[in-house]
A and B are shown apart, each in its own frame.
Chain A
Amino acid sequence: MNNDAVIETVQLSKRYGNTLALDHLDLCIARGAIHAIVGANGAGKSTLFRILLGFLPPTSGSARILGRDCRALTPQDRGRIGFVNEEHTLPSWMRVSAVIAMQRRHYPRWNQQAFDGVIGHYQVRAEQKVSQLSRGERAGFNLALALAQSPELLVLDEPTLGLDVVAKRAFLESLLYSNASDTCTVIYCSHQMDEVERVAENLIILERGQLKNMSAPDEFCARVSHWIADIPFQGPPPASVPGLLQVQRIDGLHHYLVLDQDEDFGEFLRASGARSTRSMPVSLDRAVNGFLAKNHAAPLAA
């Protein structure tokens, strides 16, 4: 057991009928910093969070959160873990002031300053009902409530899903301008790579319930390279291309997105008939998308 880990899973598996949502997942997330968890739909992110918070039993393996077995979380443990989901489920019939009063009573370490710091980014009035808030305002309100709880661990599960560009930017700014990363560990789950690139110090990629990567975003970007080759005829069979993530033919040029390949890949392309080759760095968005798309289902004829 790692005492410095906020989340630790050992051989964690979860099966829904014939579908394996988590597949012997070994994950250890260190205390501190903002960690991003990315993965395609069905990668097991939400299942992981539900198991960690004790809302789903694992099929096998173990999971600990803040050092506690996730099946034995106490109310005090829950007070140390903030959770913001993509629906921002808040009681729509309550006034903002009533929600604040309720949370303040429930959370003994309520930090009004942290709340004010976040809610200041939004035009939210105390007398408004939650149902009268826009989706962006509700997201900001939810974040403010979560941060004011002074959690040791804050889980943000796709918090900007469905927000427009302005609301998304406001949410990210309110998160970044808060001192959340100084006071607690943040797990940020998102499909938006620009957000991940902006906030995360550690990138965790889940795919089909398995851990595929855990490193700084820059390190992951460095592992993925984009090669453009001028091959007059048919390129090498995809199965023979080392580390292939994606291949496309655009304007007569072959574009290869490959993982963990150095300059030798250029030699491989030239040996396969390329008249010229060129290597380019890729953005995090392209790298992650290429990585996640490689195992994505596609028609056999493609």
Chain B
Amino acid sequence: MSNLFIAELLRFRAWALLALLAHLAVLGFFARMVDPLQQPLFVYQVVAAVYGLVGLLLGLYQMGGYRKPNTWLNLLHRPIPHIEVAQALAGAAMALLAIAVLLPLLLVIAAQSALTARVVDLRHWGLPIAAWAIACASYLAAACVMLAPRKSAVFPVVLLIVLMISDASGIWVLVLQAMVLAWLAALLACVFKPDLCAPPRRALGELLLGLPMLFGIWMFLAALTLVFQTAWMLFGTHPLNSTPPAGGYVEASRADGADLLLAGLDLATHADAALWREQVRLSEVHGTQVQIEEFAARQQLTNPMPMEFDDDTRRTRYIFSHDDLRFHGVALADGSRDGVLGVGGDHAAFDLPPLPLGRSALATAHAVYAYDSETRQIHTRIALPPGETLAALPTPAGESMSVLSDQALYFYDARSLANAQDVLAPRVRVPLPGAIGSLDRVDLIELLDGHLLSLVYGRGGIDGPGDSYQQLLMVDGAGRIEPVARRELSPDFPLWLRHYDWWLSPAMHASRRVLAHLFADPAPLRVRDPAPRPASMQLLAAALMLASLLAALWLSARQGLQGPRRWLWVAACGAVGLPALIALRLLHADRDAPVMEMAGDRALNLRATTLPL
């Protein structure tokens, strides 16, 4: 095995060294221009995609060369177990990826830590490992693609999609990557066999290949809705691509604030409704909406946005360190260290990593802070009650400033917020009538004594299952809240389309949510209103599962499956539905027809080759 490992290392050594030098040069260049550890998430995603591509190409090239019939025979027909051959090839590839991907990243981070005043946290050392894991996972997926039976070959790639959709952060990302790597390595061991056309022999191999197939087929079928919607757009009647239907969510989400308030007031029976209509026409309409999708988690590998802000007056850049939960100053002039910033005069540690939002404003999930350049201090200005999460920064609302959390809308005195430096108490708290993840927009006008609010719900469910509506509230100066009207917004899309990915396979729909949230912290800003499933959609899903079960009974018999393996497939088709049935069809060929004796004389049954006589 070691000979094969070394031979494979030697085979690609020139490419690996070239990649190392090129990678080091690119990273070094970027490190001179920007701080590579303080980039927005998008940059990390693009770079991760490049590492993934490198792994994919290596896997496709390496195994693509070996899988040629005679080469494959020459590789495997030797007195060592196939698993050892696989280990040697994959081990060498991963070692090469370590040289090309891991090593340059470690060197650059080490150099940044040793030679600059920039912040290098413990979490940053996880980045090279994560990058290497992505490259290795892509390599293994590509190797499995080349060696798996043709009809199911593409599905190992689905395991990479699990990494993409996951909400996990920090060390849990590495745990998830390790799990995907282990899965792909086990799958490679199962498909690394002499007969490349046959499905994995053992039940474990079938499970390792079959589960990604179920998920991949479901995703493919779910994505077909895009084809339908594209065709709909071409016809010019798509709700998002034409004049939206009247009274629907799309219309409400695009409406002018005053028109939206008036539309809601049309249903109001309140004694002052007529007066409010007049005031809406005369007043300035203010608005707010969810501005923050997620906050930085402690020791997460990447950043939702650069964790730094500049004090232009003092020519200092403050970079947040997850290790001590404080900002560290770096002089823009010479790159030297320039102080440490915490909360208050004693520079206490933040309770959570704050996001620099707007001019000298910082926010964590529970508080809003302001930086004062003159005193070089950060002060807490708004502190939300325990258990609440900030959803939007202070926004002007007449003489007040509104602040949105996942549970309530707060009104603060605008002058106090601008002038004072202490923690402000809200003048009014308005509990939200729905889940923050579904809240699309808030519009309001100032009344003589309070505010008239319009809240539109339905975000993230334009073509999804959630109900959408507009809620009007009146809040007086004393904080009393009075519902004014509720306007149901009609769905813009047909029922079957809104629930399409669910009725296609409720089990896979639930699996996707589980996979996305695996190892992830709770995300309160993504909580949505529950989406009830109409009875017709439930019936459709049940019918599809039953039809899949019956079809699996017939198909598995035709394929010659026997014993527990057959009944497990039938049960899977009953539980998962159409994706499992398609997976069964792709993974197992029909049983060969019995080979019949050829009719006639075997020796001389065809005519002789003759020339014209």
Contact = CB atoms under 8 A, between A and B. Distances in A.
A278 interface: no
A2 interface: no
A290 B605 CA distance: 15
A90 B606 contact: no
B78 interface: yes
Interface string B38-76: 000000000000000000000000000000111111101
B608 interface: yes
Interface stretch (B2-10, B268-276, B434-442, B550-558): B2-10
B81 interface: yes
Interface string B7-20: 10011000000000
Contacts of A234: 613
Nearest to B11: A93
Interface string A215-250: 000000000000000000011001101011111110
A102 B9 CA distance: 14
Interface stretch (B302-310, B341-349, B423-431, B589-597): B589-597
Given A102-B4, A212-B603, 14 more contacts: A15-B593, A23-B595, A24-B597, A75-B80, A75-B81, A79-B78, A85-B70, A98-B10, A102-B7, A238-B608, A245-B608, A248-B611, A294-B609, A302-B609
A59 B607 contact: no
A93 B71 CA distance: 14
A154 B611 CA distance: 41
B198 interface: yes
A165 interface: no
A56 B70 CA distance: 13
Interface stretch (A29-37, A104-112, A188-196): A104-112
Interface of A: 13, 15, 20, 23-24, 50, 53-57, 59-60, 75-76, 78-79, 81, 83, 85-87, 89-91, 93-94, 98, 101-102, 105-108, 210, 212, 234-235, 238-239, 241, 243-249, 254, 259, 293-296, 298, 302
Count chain A CB atoms within 10 A of each CB in B10, B11, B609 and give the residue with the most.
Answer: B609
A24 B599 CA distance: 13
Contacts of A247: 608, 610-611, 613
B11 A105 contact: no
Given A79-B78, A85-B74, A105-B3, A60 B194 contact: no
Contacts of A53: 73, 77, 194
A193 B78 CA distance: 30
Contacts of A91: 7, 11
A259 B608 CA distance: 12
Contacts, number: 122
Nearest to B81: A75
B73 A85 contact: yes
Interface in B67-100: 68-74, 76-81
Interface residues of B, dominant DSSP: loop
Q: Which of B76, B594, B607 lies at the interface centre, i.e. has the most chain A CB atoms within 10 A of its CB?
A: B607
Given A15-B595, A89-B74, A94 B607 contact: no
B602 interface: yes
16 contacts: A55-B72, A57-B198, A60-B592, A79-B79, A81-B77, A86-B70, A89-B70, A89-B73, A93-B10, A101-B3, A107-B79, A246-B609, A249-B611, A254-B613, A294-B606, A294-B609
B612 interface: yes
B80 A87 contact: no
B83 to A, nearest CB: 10
Q: Which 9 A-B pairs have the closest CB atoms?
A: A79-B79, A102-B3, A13-B595, A55-B194, A295-B606, A93-B11, A89-B74, A75-B79, A244-B608
Nearest to B74: A89
Contacts of B10: 93-94, 98
B607 A238 contact: yes
A90 B66 CA distance: 11
Contacts of A243: 604
A239 B194 contact: no
B148 to A, nearest CB: 16
B195 interface: yes
A294 B608 contact: yes
B333 interface: no
A241 B613 CA distance: 14
Given A50-B73, A79-B79, A85-B70, A238 B595 contact: no
Contacts of A238: 607-608, 610
B598 interface: yes
Given A54-B195, A243-B604, A83 B610 contact: no
Nearest to B80: A75
Contacts of A55: 69, 72-73, 76-77, 194-195
A234 B610 CA distance: 13
Contacts of A50: 69, 73
Nearest to B3: A102
A2 B77 CA distance: 24
A94 B10 CA distance: 8
A54 B198 CA distance: 12
A50 B196 CA distance: 12
Contact of B607 (A85, A212, A239): A239
Contacts of A302: 609-612
A296 B11 contact: no
Contacts of B608: 238, 241, 244-247, 294
B85 to A, nearest CB: 10
Contacts of A20: 595, 598
Contacts of B73: 50, 53, 55, 83, 85, 89
A75 B78 CA distance: 7
B610 A57 contact: no
B554 to A, nearest CB: 22
A268 B613 CA distance: 18
A94 B609 contact: no
Contacts of B603: 212
B150 to A, nearest CB: 14
A89 B71 contact: yes
Contact of A108 (B4, B71, B79): B79
A293 B594 CA distance: 29
Given A91-B11, A247-B610, A210 B602 contact: yes
Contacts of A235: 613
Interface string B190-233: 00001101100000000000000000000000000000000000
Contacts of B598: 20, 23
Contacts of A24: 595, 597
Contacts of B606: 294-295
Nearest to A242: B604
A79 B195 CA distance: 19
Contacts of B77: 53, 55, 78, 81, 83
A60 B594 contact: yes
B195 A98 contact: no
Contacts of B74: 83, 85, 89-90
Contacts of B7: 91, 93-94, 98, 102
B609 A106 contact: no
A59 B592 contact: yes
Nearest to B611: A248
